[in-house]
C-alpha cells in the first residue's frame, strides 16, 4: 500500500488532492464521497455580501476556459452556520478561503475563523487592494507580506498564501509571503485574460477580463511552482490545469507537496477521485512507498548529459 499522506506545515492530509477554491460546492456531494479528498478548500468569501460580476461569466477556449465570476459572497455568518457544517459531514479537513479589500480586513476575517472548525485559511490575494490604487495585493510583495502577517497575528490557524500568477517574478512574491509567516503557498490563481467575439465585437465575458484556467495553462504554472519551490522552504501546492494523475505527478516532481484541481472538475466531476486511483496505481507500479517522495524529485540534465548533447 502506498502512503499517500502529505504534510503541509503542521497539518497532515490523507492524500495530496484537493479542489481549487471556487471549483467545488455542495453539488459535488451528489457525485462522489467527499471524504476521499485530502482537503476541501471552500470558495473564497468576504465578510460583506456581494453579488459578483454580471453574466455572461464564462467563455470556452481551446483546452481552457475564461471565467469572470468575481467573488459573490453570502458573508461570514452564512459561512460559519451553513457552509462549514455542510462539509463537516465528511471526514475531510476544511480549508477556508478568504478575501478582503484591506490588510486589516484580511486580519479581522481570519480572526473570526479561528474556532470555526476549519484547519487552515487560504488567503486569496488576487483581489484589488482598495488602499493601494486597486492593485491586487498579490502583485505587490509588500502588500502580500502585510496581508499574511496581519492574518498570522489574528489567528493561530495555518495560513496559506494563494499567489497571483500575474506578476513578473513570482519568486519575489513567494519569499514575501514566507517572510510574512505563510505556512504554505498555493501557486497559483487564474491568469488574467480576455477574449472577444468576432461576430458581435463584444467581449466574451461581460466583465471584459477574466481568468484563464484549465489544461492549457499548466506549463506556465508548472514553471511558477518550480520557481516558488526553489525560492522558499515552506510547502508549495500546485494549482493550474491539473486534470489527471500525470499532471499531479508532474507538479510534485517540480516541487509541489500537493495539488489542487479546478476546471477539470467542471468537465469531469469524478476527475479528482480518478486522479487518486491512478496516482496510487502509478506509485505501486514504480515501487514508490510514499507519494511525498515525488516532491521536488525532478532530475535535471547532468553536466555530462549536457556535454553529450553537445551543449555549446
Partner 1 sequence: MSLCAVKPDEAGAGDSFPVAENLCTIVSNDWVNEEYRLLIVDAPAIALAAKAGQFFHLMCPPDGESGNFLRRPMSIHRIDREQGQLHFLYKVQGSGTRGLATLGQGDTLDALGPVGQGFTLPRGTQHVVMIGRGVGLATLAPLAQEAVAAGAKVTAILSARMASLLMAEDALRSDGAEVVIVTDDVGNSDTTSLEALLRRVHADRPIDFVATCGSKRLTRLLQDFSTEFGIAGQVALEQRMGCALGMCFACVMPFRNTAADGTRTVGYRRVCWDGPVFNLEETVL
Ligand X SMILES: Cc1cc2nc3c(=O)[nH]c(=O)nc-3n(C[C@H](O)[C@H](O)[C@H](O)COP(=O)(O)O)c2cc1C
Q: What residues are annotated to the active site?
A: 127
- To partner 1, the closest distance from the beta carbon of 203 in angstroms equals 14
Please tell me whether residue 195 binds partner 1 under the rule CB under 8 A.
Answer: no
Please tell me whether residue 126 binds partner 1 under the rule CB under 8 A.
Answer: no
From 265, 283, 291, 294, residue interacting with partner 1 (rule: CB under 8 A):
265
| Residue numbers 89-148 binding ligand X by CB under 6 A | 97, 124
Query: Helices (DSSP H) in the chain: which residue ranges?
Result: 75-78, 84-87, 103-112, 141-154, 170-180, 218-231, 245-254, 264-267, 271-286, 303-308
Distance CA 93, CA 40 (A): 6
Per DSSP, 204 falls in state: S
> How far out from the chain centre does Cα 114 lie?
21
Quick one: which segment of 15-23, 111-119, 175-183, 303-311 binds ligand X (CB under 6 A)?
15-23
- To ligand X, the closest distance from the beta carbon of 62 in angstroms equals 14
**For the residues of 226-288, what is the DSSP string, one character each?**
HHHHHH-SS-EEEESS--SHHHHHHHHHHT-SEEEE-THHHH-TTHHHHHHHHHHHHHHHHT-
Please tell me whether residue 53 binds ligand X under the rule CB under 6 A.
Answer: no
Please tell me whether residue 22 binds partner 1 under the rule CB under 8 A.
Answer: yes
Per DSSP, 123 falls in state: E
* Crossing angle of helices 218-231 and 170-180, rounded to 10°: 50
Please tell me whether residue 73 binds ligand X under the rule CB under 6 A.
Answer: no
Burial 26-51 (b: 16+ CB within 10 A, else e): eebeeeeebebbbbbbbbbbbbeeee
Asked if residue 9 belongs to a known ligand binding site, the reply is no
The total number of residues shown for the chain amounts to 312
Please tell me whether residue 280 binds partner 1 under the rule CB under 8 A.
Answer: no
C-alpha cell at 109: 476575517
From 10, 48, 60, 169, residue interacting with partner 1 (rule: CB under 8 A):
60
From 217, 227, 292, 295, residue interacting with ligand X (rule: CB under 6 A):
217
Tell me which of partner 1, ligand X, none is bound by residue 273, counting a contact when its beta carbon lies within the kind-specific cut-off of 5 to 8 angstroms: partner 1
Q: Is the peptide bond before 188 cis (omega within 30 degrees of 0)?
A: yes
Distance CA 193, CA 182 (A): 28
Tell me which of partner 1, ligand X, none is bound by residue 62, counting a contact when its beta carbon lies within the kind-specific cut-off of 5 to 8 angstroms: partner 1
- To partner 1, the closest distance from the beta carbon of 52 in angstroms equals 6
Please tell me whether residue 175 binds partner 1 under the rule CB under 8 A.
Answer: no
Distance CA 42, CA 83 (A): 8
Please tell me whether residue 219 binds partner 1 under the rule CB under 8 A.
Answer: no
- To ligand X, the closest distance from the beta carbon of 182 in angstroms equals 14
Cβ atoms 125, 69 nearer than 8 A: no
Asked if residue 138 belongs to a known ligand binding site, the reply is no
From 273, 280, 282, 296, residue interacting with partner 1 (rule: CB under 8 A):
273
Distance CA 163, CA 167 (A): 9
Please tell me whether residue 165 binds ligand X under the rule CB under 6 A.
Answer: no
| Residue numbers 239-258 binding ligand X by CB under 6 A | 239-242
From 81, 270, 290, 308, residue interacting with partner 1 (rule: CB under 8 A):
270
Residue ranges of the annotated binding site are 21, 43-44, 124, 162, 214, 240-241, 262-263
**Residue ranges that bind partner 1, judged by CB under 8 A:** 22-28, 30-32, 43, 51-52, 55-58, 60-65, 67, 69, 72, 214, 265-271, 273-274, 277
Amino acid at each position: 500500500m502506498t502512503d499517500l499522506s502529505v504534510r503541509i506545515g503542521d497539518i497532515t492530509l490523507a492524500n495530496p488532492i484537493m479542489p481549487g477554491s471556487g471549483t467545488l460546492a455542495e453539488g459535488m456531494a451528489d457525485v462522489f464521497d467527499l471524504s476521499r479528498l485530502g482537503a476541501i478548500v471552500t470558495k473564497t468569501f468576504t465578510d460583506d455580501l456581494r453579488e459578483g460580476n454580471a453574466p455572461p461569466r464564462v467563455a470556452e477556449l481551446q483546452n481552457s476556459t475564461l471565467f469572470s465570476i468575481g467573488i459573490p459572497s453570502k458573508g461570514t455568518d452564512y459561512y460559519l452556520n451553513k457552509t462549514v457544517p455542510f462539509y463537516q459531514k465528511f471526514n475531510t479537513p476544511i480549508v477556508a478561503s478568504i478575501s478582503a479589500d484591506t490588510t486589516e480586513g484580511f486580519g479581522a476575517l481570519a480572526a473570526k475563523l479561528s474556532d470555526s472548525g476549519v484547519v487552515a485559511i487560504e488567503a486569496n490575494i488576487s483581489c484589488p487592494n482598495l488602499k493601494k490604487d486597486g492593485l491586487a495585493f498579490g502583485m505587490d510583495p509588500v502588500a502580500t507580506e502585510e496581508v499574511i502577517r496581519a492574518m498570522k497575528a489574528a489567528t493561530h490557524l495555518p495560513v496559506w498564501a494563494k499567489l497571483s500568477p500575474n506578476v513578473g517574478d513570482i519568486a519575489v512574491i513567494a519569499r514575501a509571503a514566507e517572510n510574512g509567516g505563510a505556512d504554505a503557498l498555493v501557486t497559483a490563481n487564474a491568469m488574467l485574460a480576455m477574449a472577444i467575439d468576432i461576430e458581435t465585437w463584444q467581449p466574451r465575458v461581460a466583465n471584459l477580463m477574466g481568468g484563464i484556467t484549465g489544461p492549457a495553462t499548466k506549463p506556465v504554472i508548472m514553471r511558477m511552482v518550480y520557481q516558488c519551490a526553489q525560492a522558499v522552504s515552506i510547502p508549495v501546492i500546485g494549482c493550474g490545469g491539473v486534470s489527471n494523475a500525470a499532471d499531479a505527478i508532474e507538479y510534485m516532481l517540480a516541487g509541489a507537496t500537493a495539488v489542487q484541481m479546478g476546471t477539470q472538475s467542471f468537465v469531469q466531476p469524478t476527475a479528482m477521485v480518478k486522479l487518486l486511483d491512478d496516482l496510487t496505481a502509478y506509485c505501486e507500479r514504480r515501487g514508490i512507498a510514499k507519494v511525498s517522495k515525488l516532491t521536488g524529485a525532478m532530475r535535471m540534465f547532468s553536466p555530462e548529459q549536457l556535454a553529450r548533447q553537445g551543449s555549446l
